Structure 1
Amino acid sequence: MSWYLDNVYERNAESPYTFYIPSKQVIDILSIGDIVKLRFMGETEKDGLAGERMWVEITERIGQNFKGLLTNDPYDLKDLKIGQEILFKVENICDTEYQDPNSSKWDFYFDTLVTVSEDVLEKREFNFLLRDNPKGEDDSGWSILSGYEDVEFLCDSENFQIVSIGVVLNIDDSILEFIQEPPLCAYERNEEGEFYKIDDYDWEGYLNG
């Protein structure tokens, strides 16, 4: 068999703020006739595709174990075909057709945008954040830096990306304690590894620089 079902709980553990899994409330109500999405993984990655997410209609449920029929035509996995019976477990379900009670939380993780230094993404570390007034509907106003960037780096816009806040939370979610604080505010990590608010930050110099 050239495919296997991904364990979405393991994926979520690796990226808890960017890899969605249905809440327990949704999983508990799943029954025969419901449609769920599974992640079918190929033995080898092809054309940059790590797997195919496809819908399966539940035909049987016994506790955490399911049977279902594939409702999609696979794009590349040749050992699969529409209508094929699939055996799967709760840990294989990456989405459902139900409205999730936790959807607003996930919307925040996915839709809230921040400006982040490439150095943060490379080092997977950040030590300084400031929140300016947002410049668009989804822009949070937050800029996030590793603290190691020099002036030349900071002056080049190519060294920054716009990403969802979930990407940053995957690195360090301790900032959830103050991430909703309104602009203008700035935080820095201290020697103990904890963030503190910079009460005397030079906002006039920043805004007029």
Structure 2
Amino acid sequence: MTEPTFRLQDPRPTQKENPYTFHIPSKEELAEVTKGTTVKLIFSAVPASEKYDAERMWVIVEHRDGTNLVGRLDNTPEDIPGLNPGDPVEFQIHHVIDVDWEDPELNARFASDFNNWFARCFVDDAVLERRARVGFVYREDPEHDDEDKYPDTGWRIRADVEQLSQEEYDDTPCSYVAIGAVLNCDDSFVHLLSEPVGSRFLRTEGDTYELCRENQ
């Protein structure tokens, strides 16, 4: 029996842990995948590659039977010896992480605003490291060029001081990251993101946010 040269990664655990920054197609979108559809899968070399943890590559579907699919690889692997363009690939529908729709109607129907979560913000590292929840959020004029691929939203996310020692709070650095990376850790303030510049909100004991006045 020929030894496998690759395995396919199940993207669902990663998406569950990172819902705002790791996108997978909806059930409705996956239901439209059929013969001739081009889909993207995550391949890992067997044995493991020394260069890459995984490679994301396109596969053209040739057959579908329920959740079982067979296609042909439509990319050239960087470091998966024995796997070549045109080789058959058997997979399950849950392995699909993206679909390249040639049909304009389907492309429009499944268009997503997912990339909005990659716009940037400043956040205390204690939140990203899950050492503290979000305690205070405010929005100021963006510091970075609006023409950046992922512009600054102006949101500034501070950790809950009650969950840190004063020394930790004073010394914790901050990072400039995708706002989705913060929401992966704590999305309690997601409903506030359309609020205008100048908005300031403090988290209450009841886990709601109250509007702060300038003199507070």
- TM-score of the pair, normalised by structure 1: 0.83
Structure 1's consecutive aligned runs of 4 or more residues displaced over 3 angstroms after TM superposition are: 42-45, 100-104, 147-154
Offset of 1:104 from its aligned partner?
Answer: 3.8
Structure 1 residue ranges without an equivalent (≥5):
204-209
Alignment match of 1:117 (pick from 110, 113, 124): 124
Are the equivalent residues in 2 in contact too, given 1:38–1:94 (CA < 8 A)? yes
Q: Does 1:107 align with 2:115?
A: yes
Percent of counterpart pairs with the same letter? 31
1:110-139 per-position Cα deviation (integer Å, ceiling 9, x unaligned): 2x2111122222235322211112234221
Classify 1:45/1:197 alpha carbon distance in 2 versus 1 (closer, same or farther; 3 Å).
farther
Q: Which residue in 1 is equivalent to 2:104? A: none
Q: Which residue in 2 is equivalent to 1:17? A: 20
Q: Which residue in 1 is equivalent to 2:179? A: 165
Classify 1:152/1:172 alpha carbon distance in 2 versus 1 (closer, same or farther; 3 Å).
closer
Q: Which residue in 2 is equivalent to 1:131? A: 139
Classify 1:90/1:107 alpha carbon distance in 2 versus 1 (closer, same or farther; 3 Å).
same
Q: Does 1:46 align with 2:50?
A: yes
Are the equivalent residues in 2 in contact too, given 1:25–1:101 (CA < 8 A)? no
Offset of 1:12 from its aligned partner?
Answer: 0.9
DSSP 3-state at the match of 1:123: coil
Classify 1:102/1:16 alpha carbon distance in 2 versus 1 (closer, same or farther; 3 Å).
farther
- TM-score of the pair, normalised by structure 2: 0.80
Offset of 1:53 from its aligned partner?
Answer: 0.4
Offset of 1:102 from its aligned partner?
Answer: 5.3
Which amino acid is 2:120 matched to? L
More helix by share: 1
In structure 2, what is the Cα distance between the partners aligned to 1:17 and 1:52? 21
In structure 2, what is the Cα distance between the partners aligned to 1:198 and 1:120? 21
In structure 2, what is the Cα distance between the partners aligned to 1:45 and 1:115? 35
DSSP 3-state at the match of 1:26: helix
